[in-house]
Amino acid sequence: MRKIFRVLLLLLIAVLTTTILLITVLSLFGQYARWAELLSHFVCFYLVASAILLIGAAVVRNKIFIAFAAISLFLNIIRISPQCFPSGDRNISAGSQEIRLLHLNCWGPKNSKPAEILEIARERKADIVCFCEIENGWFKRIDNTFTDYPYKALFPHFGGLGFVSKFPIVSWTVKEGTFWHRPRLYAEVRLKDGRILNLLVAHPTIPVYKDVFDCRNQDFSFFAGEFAARANPKILVGDLNCSPWSYYFQKLLEETGLNDSEVGFGPQPTWSPGGKLIPLLPIDHFLVSKDFVVADHHIERFAGADHRLVFVDLWLKPKSNDRQAMPSGMR
């Protein structure tokens, strides 16, 4: 009986280690196939599975499957590690300006706790609060909740998106995509020191099928072409339906010249099916220009929606090149 159990366990380990290694390798080729790009979003799961299978392979003492699990674990650690370690200068210079932002996907009419999610957002006291999926009554709720935010730019159609701000909005405009008229909102916001912050709020399509996959990638191309030409400082924020391990996400960063604000804070998953499970995928993002220092990036709890709120604390470097490090007690 023990021998049969050992054979069955070995067979199970063989199938699982081979599968996880194959999926891990295929997920590296997202630029060539849609299904491979979809696989790339689940790197965290491959990492955990590889670690568990490595232990299992060690228990059955099979060198081949130990190697399979170890290779898979190594490849996934290499992909995740950039999210865990800070990149660039994290020193906050004297004269830097703090800007706190929040993003929430309200989930439109499906949200079971609309008052609660907006109250959580208001309590965080962000300077700018960005929204997506705000059709069907959300405008009135936002108006009634964010009474201390005098400036608003809200677009009600095709899913709806926008933001409220404590800083004056100089101008804003909405452009629509070619598929489903998916909107993207460009705005200019005047900061305390008089500089103009270029802000883009977007919510591309879910890339499950070919048409919407192509549409999301086309939206990324629009972002790169339209937003990259705008002056710094600038921020791209939204539910981008794309994880940091996607080829297209990295391409977007390269073409816009923006940084992922999540880097250095570890993977922070924001989406869960129906908001019932633990968050699975990090697809809500703040991408920021290089003149920002990211002091904090974290997610808030679920509140009636399938996405968690994302909070960032940014410090805009001063105009002058003569910068001094801010004392630690002032940070």
pLDDT of residue 151: 97
The residue type at 24: T
- Angle, CA of 267, 272 and 277, to the nearest 5°: 105
pLDDT of 263 > 90? The answer is yes
For residue 246, give the nearest of 274, 227, 220, 222 by alpha carbon. 220
pLDDT of residue 317: 93
Instruction: Measure the CA–CA gap between 278 and 7, rounded to whole angstroms.
Output: 34
Q: Which domains does the chain carry? A: 2-84 (no CATH), 97-316 (3.60.10.10)
Give the model confidence (pLDDT) of 200-233 as tens digits: 999 999 999 999 999 999 999 999 999 888 998 9
DSSP tag of 184: E
Phi-psi sector, 206: left (phi>0), alpha (psi -120 to 50), beta: beta
pLDDT of 91 > 90? The answer is no
pLDDT of 322 > 50? The answer is no
pLDDT of 49 > 60? The answer is yes
pLDDT of 9 > 90? The answer is no
More confident residue, 331 or 105: 105
Instruction: Measure the CA–CA gap between 99 and 13, rounded to whole angstroms.
Output: 50
Give the model confidence (pLDDT) of 282-295 as tens digits: 999 999 999 999 99
For the chain, helix (H) and strand (E) counts, in that order, are 8, 12
Instruction: Measure the CA–CA gap between 24 and 183, rounded to whole angstroms.
Output: 34
* The model scores a pTM over 0.85: yes
